Structure 1
Amino acid sequence: MEYYNSLKALHIIFVVSWFVGLFYIVRLFVYQIEAADKPSPEKEILQKQFKIMAYRLWYIITWPSTILASIFAFWMLLFTPMGNAWLQMPWMHVKLGFVFVLYLYQAKCHQIFKQLQNDDVRYTTNYMRIWNEGATLILFSVVFLVVLKSAINWIYGVVGIIVFTGLLMLGFKFYKRIREKNAPTQEGGENGKENNK
């Protein structure tokens, strides 16, 4: 049991690091896309800095954490009696399905990472902000599955986070409209001050 718990602790540590990497890399994607619209030389300075940050995060934290979390997970499942017992449970099958989706999510992030490292901007910042919620939904689903150990009851928690995410997106759109509405007024005010001078 102590052996199993040691593997479990290591797995949890690297899962946390893995998700930290996934959450932050998409934020860096947003910053890189925004930097592409800046005037020179600000654009080049920001792009260079964000590329370095993304490269280090992706290859020093995210990918190693992915590999180590996976090694310890499969070690627990395949080479311990308790892991073999978990494999018989329906909720574990659903969880492994979400882990597979997480691998696909990371593969897509890797594709976007390589595009941005080559200054190939194909997505908007709004798209990236929505994309960032993918890892959140997977995390909530997996945590509810592991805690409730039910193939059905986790759905309530996930529905809750989807509703919460929807409310956040509505709030973001509302804030964006207010900001865009006030922008011309502020510019007009500055122009008015200049005209008065």
Structure 2
Amino acid sequence: MKKIIGLVGTNSDHSTNRMLLQFIQKHFSNQAQIEVVEIKDLPLFNKPENKQLPVSVQELAKKIEDADGVIISTPEYDHSVPASLINALNWLSYGIFPFVDKPVMTTGASYGTLGSSRAQMHLRQILDAPELKARVMPSSEFLLSHSLQAFNEDAGLIDFEQIEKLEGLFEDFQIFMDITNQLKSAHAINKKEAESFSWENL
């Protein structure tokens, strides 16, 4: 059974993105071992010169490193991902590189109609950065709109079509993880390039 990290892309205490990941965790419990992980306790990124990372960052990086894949669920603030998610990714690409060649699936929930579509587009750009180099599953974003009304009292998704789409995407993600985890020939070089990359030398 595959190990997947479900990364809550917000520091909000009450988030429908957290609810979405918890639904995914429960709904696919017979297909994968999914751990929902928070970023809200990470300190503000301050680029420590000695690259001594907080214990919470090291622990999160280890979970991602050990996982077969990562599902990131992000809300949308001002057409972008939340500052807290950017903060987490800044830490996870500073002296440590757990996302290099890591299979990633993006999801998102929002109160409005668009379901974090622009935030997910921005997230893909971030994950393609030289220090992250994640492998994001193409054409696969899951957009949960009007998320305050999307769940029932048992925290389950109400719309059967949404569940059906999510099931299809999750099945594709299982295949994507299998394929991606076989593409390891350049992994050592990719990681070395991420470690040695510097914007100052461009």
Q: TM-score surpassing 0.5? A: no
From the CA coordinates, give the structure whose radius of gyration is larger.
1
Higher strand share: 2
With the length of structure 1 as denominator, give the TM-score of the two structures. 0.29
With the length of structure 2 as denominator, give the TM-score of the two structures. 0.28
